[in-house]
Amino acid sequence: QVQLVESGGGSVQAGGSLRLSCAASGGTFTSYAMGWFRQAAGKERVLVAAMSWSGNSSYYADAVKGRFTISGDNAKNAIYLQMNNLRPEDTTVYFCQARGTRDYWGQGTQVTVSS
């Protein structure tokens, strides 16, 4: 069974940085698209960044372009989200997703940015 586990969240001041990690297990992920979503309380879950293992492609939401970078290490079955110049509006829970024949989700990791 596929399992995704996020880590690296925490509390930082505005302008600071965090690096989120997503460790995947229980399957072969070379055929999966991988992404990071975020969801604040009372809000819908929205895509922040995505990548594919084989297509050498990536996507970033306008709100994070130039500040966040998604990357992956297939040998380690992991993806990462480097988050720089964090803003209070980035405060929310971040989720890792693997998209294949079905979607798999991690449990989420909290990011809090204060001014």
Which residue stretches of the chain have pLDDT < 50?
Answer: none
State the pLDDT at residue 28. Answer: 75
85, amino acid identity? N
Write the pLDDT tens digit of every residue in 6-33.
999 999 999 999 999 999 998 877 778 8
Cα 39 from Cα 48, distance rounded (Å): 10
Cα 33 from Cα 54, distance rounded (Å): 9
State the pLDDT at residue 7. Answer: 97
State the pLDDT at residue 55. Answer: 66
Q: How far is CA 44 from CA 51, 58, 65, 101, in A?
A: 21, 22, 20, 23
State the pLDDT at residue 94. Answer: 98
Q: How far is CA 77 from CA 39, 81, 91, 107, in A?
A: 24, 14, 26, 17
